[in-house]
Structure 1
Amino acid sequence: MQISPDETVHLLFSEKDQLVLDQADASPSPLVAFDDKNAVLKLITAELSTERLERLYDMLFLVSNRRNISPLHHQLVKGRQTLITERADLHLVWNYDRIFVKPIPLCLLSHAFWQTHLLAPLVAHATVGHHAARPPSAVKVWREAQGFLRTYASLIQHPSDLHLAKTLHLVPNNVDWNTWCRFIDGFAHLKDRQVAPATITGSCA
């Protein structure tokens, strides 16, 4: 899904509402410099890739309703154990009494990261050629990042969900309820066309 050159793209949270302040956390890896744009793009693309799920997207409706993602506390009600996965294509996949959840990469909680590595490539390309299509790789990772965080707007809907998320190390321990609500609010209102297709169903959660 391409972003129209005329479509406005913007960040969904302000700098004051970011959840990480340490510049070291603004890179996907401590071994990669924040300003090494090619290396950062390669890392975050691999981190968020749902390519395998997208190949099955047309069949996902058979096992899941759109946006059918239960909050973390209700996963317990359903008798599911939450297991950590670092694979984006396993995020929210469940099997009987287990559900796999990918922790939020710290860089996605950083305003500087979104501004520099996700938004800037889209904006820069649009200003160079107003009628030119934006780079597919930049569009793909933008939609995957937005879709991934939108799933967390469903997973963490109550203070009890945030407590569980911190216990499971899905989010940083220093995040409080009010701060979380301000950060995630913009992602909660994203339309399906603004996110990667594989993140729409939540992979059967």
Structure 2
Amino acid sequence: MKQNHTQLPFTTRVFKEQSDPSDLLPASYHFYEQAVSGRRRRRVADPSQNVAAFLDTELSLQQLEGIDKHLWLAGAKRPPTQLHLQVAIGRNIVLADRIDLHLLWSGDGKLFVKPLSRFLLSPDFWQTHLTCHDYCSCSDRVGSVLSMESSPAIESRYPLPPPNTTCKERLRKVARGFLYTYACLISTESDFYIAIEKRLLPREADDSSIKWAQWQRFVREIIAQHDSSRVHPRFIRAELRLSRINVIHRTKQFLFSEAYFGGWNNYSSFFRDNLAWIAAITAYLVLILTAMQVGLATERLQANTAFQQASYAFTLLAILGPVCMVSLVALRALIELIKDLRVIFRQEKKHVNTSTA
């Protein structure tokens, strides 16, 4: 079985290869599994025991996959801005080791950046775990003969894959896009040393940093082979505004659904943030009613039926609107409280049962 070597985005060896391939992987990784109760539970596992499962988690864009058609609301199609310019405009680079948070920025100046994984800089790892064999449907060779040869001829040239073999094109597109963002972020020596300082780049086994000359060759090869059709649509866009991602996620899911990221950690912050926008809307309604009251004092608008009806409608809105909005916030807080109590009682019950067993 041959591997399609054209799927490798680079051949440059940025750092020395490890004698043990598992040294390229993290010590452990976290993932979620579906429990019998229907809730997701977080688990920790050894990535070297099941590399395929680890890659499915490590290169998963999670909920971004479901809203990728609406990402135009959160970011434009353009390359990511260089690191030194990110710092110049006042953004604070925050490490977030989740690829679905990579290059999301918040209103308080945070820019979430996923550190570049060591295994993604290894051509050998790509060849072993991120390339498909020639018989895979994503192979260029298979696609070129589908319209030229009969089915028996294709089957004889491209035998059926062995059991439990899956196409890795989706993972490859995510990994290619991720590497391209780093080629854009770190383009000058200033960017390179910021990345070294922020620990965005992996280090050698002796904890020394990789060399600028090696990074130059790697980036130039990534850019030379870049093809937007071979990367995930998320990475066609640069930085994404987190607040808009939260709005898109909530609109796509449900009004009372959780935020995509950066939700409220306690009830005081929940009420503070929600009551703030309610107070802003109420203040705006007060300005409108004050202006209408002045208008009703004039002779021209006193006899205007349309203005009288508008004043009546805004008066009701000013009375009922804040009451309804505060009630919705209180209802949301009550729902969250019930959910938290259910989790607490379930954990306590499980702990008691384990202790008595």
TM-score by length of 2: 0.49
Alignment length (residue pairs): 192
Gap runs ≥5 in structure 2: 28-45, 147-157, 204-208, 242-357
How far apart, CA to CA, are the structure 2 residues paired with 1:20 and 1:106? 11
Candidates 127, 138, 141, aligned match of 2:171? 141
CA contact (8 A) 2:14 2:215 kept: no
- Residue of 13, 20, 26 corresponding to 1:17: 13
* Regions of 4+ moved over 6 Å: none
Structure having the higher Rg: 2
Correspondence for 1:194 among 230, 233, 247: 230
Match of 2:264 in 1: none
Change (3 A) 1:13 1:68: closer
Cα separation, 2, equivalents of 1:98 and 1:172: 22
The residue type paired with residue 114 of structure 1 is: W
2:196 maps to 1:166: yes
Q: Is the 8 A contact 2:5 2:127 kept in 1?
A: no
Provide the C-alpha distance between the structure 1 equivalents of 2:96 and 2:85, rounded to a whole number of angstroms: 19
Bigger proportion of residues as helix: 2
Bigger mean CA offset, 88-97 vs 54-63? 54-63
Equivalent in 96, 99, 105 of residue 85 of structure 1 = 96
Say whether the 8 Å CA contact 1:148–1:199 is kept in structure 2.
yes
Moved more, 95-104 or 18-27: 18-27
Match of residue 121, structure 2, among 109, 113, 117: 109
Separation of aligned partners in 2, 1:153 and 1:83: 19
Distance 2:84 2:55 in 1: 29
Give, in angstroms, the shift of residue 86 of structure 1.
0.8
Shift of 1:200: 1.4
SS of equivalent to 1:61: helix
Alpha-carbon displacement from aligned partner over 1:45-65 (angstroms, at most 9, x marks no partner): 211111421222222112211
Distance across 2 between alignment mates of 1:64 and 1:159: 27
Structure 1 residues 136 and 116, CA, compared in 2 at 3 Å: closer, same or farther? closer
Instruction: Work out the CA distance in 1 between the residues paired with 2:134 and 2:89.
Output: 43
* Structure 1: gaps of 5 or more residues: 1-6
* Root-mean-square deviation (Å): 2.8
| 1:17–1:182 contact (8 Å) kept in structure 2 | no
In the alignment, does 2:95 pair up with 1:69?
no
1:155/1:53 CA distance change after superposition, 3 Å = same
Does residue 49 (structure 1) correspond to residue 60 (structure 2)? The answer is yes
State the identity %.
29
Structure with the larger RCO, 1 or 2 (CA within 8 Å, 6+ apart): 1
Q: Aligned equivalents of 2:19 and 2:105: distance in 1?
A: 34
- Residues 1:59 and 1:20: Cα distance change in structure 2 (over 3 Å): farther
